[in-house]
Structure 1
């Protein structure tokens, strides 16, 4: 039977080999095995960042942050999750296409320069 640590190590190997999709799947299994353990969320978030799945990263980080206790022991993982959340939010903002509204004019006929269209 798979344990959190063995599946996490499989994810780490996949991550080191730049197989980020497999790494994200392994870390997802970690979350299923121990849903209250924030480490699975943190590791999965980093794999998702590498896959440029920023919305999913944000959700994963927020879920992981919800699993943390307010104690000194959880502070390192809190910092990682917050940093990864920040990276995902910044990247998502950078890749969002900003559109501006163009005025629409109603015309009865096409101007001559567009008649051939």
Structure 2
């Protein structure tokens, strides 16, 4: 993959030279967001459990990361679709939207 800076009427996007790179970065951003959200939900527990240990915590963190990656891969939250819609015109061969659920369209319709 060739990484360059592209320009458009709205300005340059450093590091994004094609639609595949944009899709990959948008999906990775969604995964990071979901990891943070799942971690925050897990840390909201009010009491310590009987099986709480550093090993259990480590395995829960790994399971949470896998869950977040799987959710992002399916476009569960639609964050990647919104990012692609927002920045797609700044990248060569920009896609209209990924094949994930049409979260961007739902967001647009609900905002109206």
- TM-score by length of structure 2 reads 0.31
Relative contact order, higher structure (CA 8 A, sep 6+): 2
TM-score by length of 1: 0.30
